[in-house]
A and B are shown apart, each in its own frame.
Chain A
Amino acid sequence: MTAPHAPTPSQTIGPFHGHALPVVDGGAIAPVAHPETITVHGYVYDGAGEPVPDALVEIWQPAPDGSRTGAPGSLRRDPVTGRAAGRDGVTFTGFGRVATDADGRWAVRTLPPGGVPYLSVALFARGLLRHLYTRVYLWEEPGDTLLASLAADRRATLLARPEPPRTYRFDLRLQGAGETVFLEFSGAGRP
């Protein structure tokens, strides 16, 4: 690339994003009381097996009808006070954002994605020079090229474990035993 359009480098999110980025209802992607709602939850662990209490998990996914346009309203603010207002409870935006708690735990409530079996994840944390991408596979589909390309033990790190009813467990391991498969997309989109 030539210099004028050379990409801006990434830098760590640091430990103090918590008063800026997480919001009320950030993990409440599903409309309120929607009967198809699923819960996806888990922990983030570091290479020493310790929970990561200052990570940020972002989710992006198609709507149940397969639409990938998304919709505004994930991070609504109250114009009266300037504070986070929460979602409108109706719109499915396709986007979620949650911080891990002091135990390294995160959870979102959403609707199953249409057309694909996975939720896309961007994971940010102090100590990561750049965020990491991965996918939460809620079920396996025979034609999925990513899953098909992975050895069984690596593939297993992308498969959420069903915890009926309508709940899935997905842990993220940054390093070491059971390290989650993390993704890069520089070659995606080619014909």
Chain B
Amino acid sequence: MTRTTAPVPPRPRSCPPYRGTRYRTPARPLVAVQDPEAVELTGPVFGAADITPLDHDLTRQHTGEPIGERITVTGRVRDRRGHPVRGQLVELWQANAAGRYAHRLDQHLAPLDPNFTGCGRCLTDDEGRYAFTTVRPGAYPWRNHVNAWRPAHLHFSFFGTAFTQRLVTQMYFPGDPLLALDPVLLSVTDEAARARLVAAYAHDLSVPEWSLGYRWDVVLDGPCATLFEEDGR
């Protein structure tokens, strides 16, 4: 990627239909940092001690099995040139199959599941691949407007090789009729970009008589020190 003109600093966007943005979106433009020595071009690292081998399987964190449709979700994490992000931390959190979080502030009148906390983490492999086993979360209501429902979604957190590549986002399921009605998903105004938040059902990843498979690949935006070194810039 070569850029010949100075970038125009994007304004942080406010999305009126998602009410929570109103008092939390900065009014002033972001200030562009052009410093090649910026600390943000490097980032934190994680290792074997930061996870346990069971953390990627959200169905095995309690004495019993959680209720719900068992799924596996896998994909590759890459930088914007397509190079894999290796050995980095991926974190996942979600509601249970009934649409309730194991969080005391979630007072949705759906049952908690004593066998499901809904948190997972793993490190990407040498090809940037992550994989989780969990249950498909339920949709849940929220008070953004009358009869507002969040489509089923998984919350994900990713680290790249630079702090500039940090990403927290949400993954959705294909064919969900609530996708067209969700202010959070619609806060991404570009339709093609929204489509990148929807996983694909992957029959080759489904395990007979065990689980349904979904594939969701992720591309981290933002410059990093190694990106520029390898570009010879």
Interface, chain A (partner B; CB < 8 A): 1, 3-21, 46-48, 50, 52, 58, 60-62, 68-79, 82, 85, 88, 93-95, 113, 116, 118, 120, 122, 124-133, 145-146, 149-150, 154, 174-176, 179-191
Contacts and interface: CB of A to CB of B under 8 A. Distances in A.
A181 B32 CA distance: 10
B166 interface: yes
Given A11-B168, A133-B163, A183-B30, 9 more contacts: A9-B169, A13-B168, A16-B101, A21-B157, A93-B44, A122-B166, A128-B21, A146-B31, A183-B32
Interface of B: 1, 3, 6-7, 9-10, 12-13, 15, 18, 20-28, 30-36, 38-55, 61, 78, 80-82, 89, 91-93, 95, 101-103, 105-106, 117-119, 121, 155, 157, 163-164, 166-170, 184-185, 187-188, 190, 192-194, 196-197, 218-225, 227-228, 233
In this complex, which of A5, A9, A116, A190 has the most chain B Cβ atoms within 10 angstroms of its Cβ?
Answer: A9
Nearest to A129: B187
Contacts of B10: 184
Contacts of B101: 16, 19
Given A184-B31, A187-B3, A46 B24 contact: yes
B176 to A, nearest CB: 15
B192 A3 contact: yes
A185 B46 contact: no
Nearest to A81: B52
B39 A61 contact: yes
17 contacts: A11-B155, A14-B155, A16-B155, A19-B117, A20-B155, A48-B23, A68-B39, A69-B45, A70-B42, A77-B49, A122-B166, A127-B24, A129-B18, A183-B33, A185-B38, A187-B32, A189-B224
